[in-house]
A and B are shown apart, each in its own frame.
Chain A
Amino acid sequence: MASKRYVCIICPNSCEIDVEYSGNVIQKISGQTCKRGDEYVRKEMTAPERGVTTSVPIRGGAIPLVSVRSSKTIPKELLPKAIQEISKARAVAPVKIGDILIKNLLGTGADIIATKNVPQRKA
């Protein structure tokens, strides 16, 4: 049986979680202090996912950029491609937190949403 140690990234506790497995079958998960740790490790072993955050230029806004994030995590290996795709986007003021700027990013099912309220620039 093989084993591997993970550090959970879900919350600041950063639990060290040990996984024992043979082939593709997980035998034992230990060290997590909540069930999110269990879920994290199972995903991390098979298909790791991460959230994506960046900023997008905004036309007519009180500030030049609006910060954005993915509405849910996406496959980790898609992160560089996702950033490239998002960098082509342009927002138009006003924008509110939660406004969708890109729908279904790269077919992942995740939307790119604004994380900052940006009012229009005062003339």
Chain B
Amino acid sequence: MITKSVDVAIVGGGPAGLSAALSAKKNGAGNVLIIERGENLGGILNQCIHEGFGIETFGEALSGPEYMQRFIDQVEDGKIPYMLNSMVLEITKERKLLVASREGLIEINAKAIVLCMGCRERTRGQICTPGTRPAGIYTAGAAQNFINLKGYRIGERVVILGSGDIGLIMARRLTLEGAKVLAVAELMPYSSGLPRNMVQCLHDYEIPLYLSHTITQIHGNKRVEAVTLAQVDERFKPIPGSEKRIECDTLLLSVGLIPENELTRNAGIAIDEVTGGAIIDERMQTSVPGIFACGNVLHVHDVVDYVSMEGDKAGKDAAEYSLGKAKMEGAIRVKVGPGVRYVLPQLLSGEEDVLLSMRVMAPARNVKIALLEGGQAVKTVMKPRVNPAEMIQIKVKKSELSGCKEITVTLQNGK
């Protein structure tokens, strides 16, 4: 078996990995290596040909491929090595990586590792939709791949279950390509996509959105022939008598994304059951020293610019660790309070300014986010509106954390 040693190994060459690699190199790591499973760098951005990427980073609305190319160019210019068609099979606590590549099995010893594996789509099996198993059922991302990268026409009459952003983007794409999108059904009483995508993908094309609805049955033998749409009650149970049959040949599922953490779990790294990603400290470090995480493998993002920023932070922290510099001192636990779904990082030193990333449980207006220590607010931030679809970031100063032992982040009425 071939063996190698590197300072910082980056697992995954998507937006998180590209940023992490550039940042690790910039911050002094001599020997950085990107390990990518696919045929090219860039990850999912290869198929995200719509616009809207890079507004935060570059001040322009780029397509996904343009956005990724700006980072790939920097990786090429900086001569950062990368392996394509190479899959990491195992990561150990001792920071050994086992990689299957065209050259055979490779063992890589890394001083630091950054996990950048991204996420996967939730499938029909995971939401247990009853019915037959005909052709014509796709996850939204698979449909996006077929249409945008291969030029296939996947169907003519389409129903979409779930109002996640990829589903909304595909509703528009299918309509412009000549298909008829008959309905988007969303289980929750609110959309799970960004409001801007509701406007430019659904309203622009008068595609009906059915909130508090789900698909209770898929019909058809060889090919999808119809689906049954039904309204649900507040406990998400279908309401008898509300069923409606929609004749269609295609069903897209846009029902959520799951961080891809098989490698992480096998390495014995602690996972947050809510985010599905690693538990991290403010240095983006997981429960295993020297292993860092960022991007969609850590928690699912709605905007790629924030993935890049997180990669930038994790790359810097990993570089410092590889140089023997980063030590995490002190520990303030960050807890999730009422109204909040999750908060990252889960552990703070109290010795640096930090950026908290969080999501709320449900949409709300005129609220405040309060950071409580022993029931007393050490910081509050007013928000005119919050939405589970939009990640919220809050800057917290070191001085605001002085004397804190455990911070609880809560959502409160702003009035």
Spell out A's residues near B (CB within 8 Å). 6-12, 14, 16, 50-51, 53-55, 57, 63-65, 67-69, 76, 79-80, 83, 97, 115-117
Contacts and interface: CB of A to CB of B under 8 A. Distances in A.
Nearest to B150: A64
B50 A53 contact: yes
A55 B148 contact: yes
A14 B200 contact: no
A65 B148 contact: yes
Contacts of A7: 195-196, 198-199
A115 B63 CA distance: 7
- The dominant DSSP class at the B interface is helix
A73 B145 CA distance: 25
Given A12-B194, A12-B390, A116 B51 contact: no
A104 to B, nearest CB: 20
A77 B314 CA distance: 44
Contacts of A53: 49-51, 63
Contact of B204 (A6, A50, A83): A50
A12 B63 CA distance: 14
Interface of B: 46, 49-52, 55-56, 61-63, 65-66, 69, 147-151, 176-177, 194-196, 198-200, 204, 302-303, 385, 390
Contact of A97 (B46, B69, B200, B390): B69
A90 to B, nearest CB: 12
Contacts of A50: 200, 204
Contact of A8 (B49, B148, B177, B196): B196
B49 A54 contact: yes
A65 B194 CA distance: 28
Given A12-B194, A14-B195, A116 B176 contact: no
Contacts of A65: 148-151
